[in-house]
Amino acid sequence: MTFKELNISEPILKALINKKYETPTPIQEQAIPVALSGQDLLGIAQTGTGKTAAFAIPIIQKLNQPQPKGQKREIKALILTPTRELAIQIDECFSDYSKYTDLRHTVIFGGVSQIPQVETLKRGIDILIATPGRLLDLINQKIITLNHIRHFVLDEADRMLDMGFIHDIKRLLPILPKRKQTLFFSATMPLAIANLSKSILHNPAKVEVTPVSSTVNTIDQQLYFVEKPDKSSLLVSILEKEQKSTLVFSRTKHGADKIARVLNKRGIGCEAIHGNKKQGARQRALSNFKLGKTHVIIATDIAARGIDISNLEMVINYDLPDIAETYVHRIGRTGRAGKSGTALSFCTQEERTMVKDIQKLTGKKLNAVLTA
Ligand code: AMP
């Protein structure tokens, strides 16, 4: 299957060639024809599957029509996503894929001044990528109207729920026009999400890739039994041995900073990203990591959510997550696109029940490397 066979138009095909995308990923293969047909879509897919292009490409294609002269551009597509990082990444995807069209898009999120965002909005845009809080804020200020929305994407719905955005979404839904296409994406389908999807989708096509309970075989998963005071020296020794691009997960923001301090002291260049860091600092840390200036980034689950770091060689669970599915999300950041990856988990006595939960969910036994 090629993108051409999916009836993707020339300007987008050209952009995909620039991106060196050769074939559609499974979610793209399934979702693009549905989205192009105008049908609603329920997509069960996690980050890393190519789901952004699965909704961005058909939206660009459908909206790519000459802008009538003298008419103000109205927002015709809204993509709602839970985090700033994810919103920025989606916006970058729209820049890439719509490069050879004259569509305009922008991204809005909280935690920064609204002034530049408002200026861009006032010049007129076709596609808006937003996090819920800032969107509702600008709607209340009458800076944004959504009367012309034809395409609505709810991205990472399960994360929205986890992060407490469900009320914001419920406030937003009645503001959207009744006649529109809705594309709903979630990595998991807990009951609350299934109910939400039922309430907003009309006769949707369901598309599902890589169930969340499965981890890919290209990831080498290992377990280290270690007591809490020894975690940082274990981390240092692994990172000194393995010069790999590594994402380290910490349970808390404070913990992430502490790990960063220890590593930096030992000469291992790294940065921590979490919700207490200013937006600029988080972006800088990410770009330093992506450019290879640092090899290690430490993140909390919320900060790391949706971050696309390609060529990530290793994920380390410095702390194990409370929810087994989070483990699958975390380690899914390595071993992408057929590449091999390594996922190491540190496990204290108290965390042993979590290992049991993870093994039960994934159906795989984690190989223990060291026993304390
Ligand atoms: P996503 O799941 O949308 O976060 O995408 C994960 C990564 O896959 C991103 O780095 C995309 O640029 C990349 N990607 C998306 N679609 C394709 C494709 N068809 N071929 C190669 N890479 C892709």
Pocket of ligand 1 (CB under 6 A): 21, 24-25, 28, 47-53, 308, 310
Q: Are 285 and 297 in contact (CB under 8 A)?
A: yes
**Rounded to the nearest whole angstrom, what is the distance from the C-alpha of residue 368 to the centroid of ligand 1?**
32
Per DSSP, the chain holds a count of helices (H) and strands (E) of 15, 14
E strands in 146-269: 151-154, 181-186, 205-208, 219-225, 246-249
User: What tokens does 59 get?
Assistant: 């939206």
The residue assigned the tokens 């450019």 is 291
Instruction: Identify the pLDDT of residue 236.
Output: 95
> Distance between CA 319 and CA 314 in Å, rounded?
15
Ligand 1 mean position to 47 CA, how many Å?
9
Which of 47, 308, 334 should be mutated for ligand 1, with most atoms under 8 A from CB? Answer: 308
Q: Which two tokens stand for residue 187?
A: 């990595």
Of all protein residues, the one whose alpha carbon is nearest to atom 21 of ligand 1 is: 21
Report helix, strand or coil for 162: helix
DSSP β-bridge partners for residue 367? 222
Q: If you take atom 11 of ligand 1, which residue's CA is the nearest one?
A: 50
pLDDT in tens, 41-84: 999 987 778 899 999 999 999 999 988 888 889 999 999 999 99
- Give the mutation target among 12, 18, 21, 186 for probing the ligand 1 site: most ligand atoms within 8 A of CB: 21
Q: Which two tokens mark 108?
A: 């809005």
- pLDDT, one tens digit per residue, over 7-47 is 999 999 999 999 988 889 889 999 999 999 999 999 998 77
Average pLDDT (298-318) is: 80
Which phi and psi angles does 44 have, rounded to 5°? -105, 100
For residue 34, the tally of other CB atoms under 10 A from its CB is 21
List the single range of 120-124, 227-231, 287-291 with lowest mean pLDDT.
Answer: 287-291
- C-alpha 128/C-alpha 80 separation (Å) is 8
**Segment among 93-102, 187-196, 277-286 with least mean pLDDT:** 277-286
Closest CA to 114 of 147, 89, 81, 139: 139
- In this structure, what are the phi and psi dihedrals at residue 159, rounded to the nearest 5 degrees? -70, -35
Query: For the segment 88-97, what is each residue's pLDDT rounded down to a tens digit?
Result: 999 999 999 9
Give the predicted TM-score (pTM) of the model: 0.67
Cβ(130)–Cβ(107) below 8 Å? yes
Residues linked to residue 267 through DSSP beta bridges, in sequence order: none
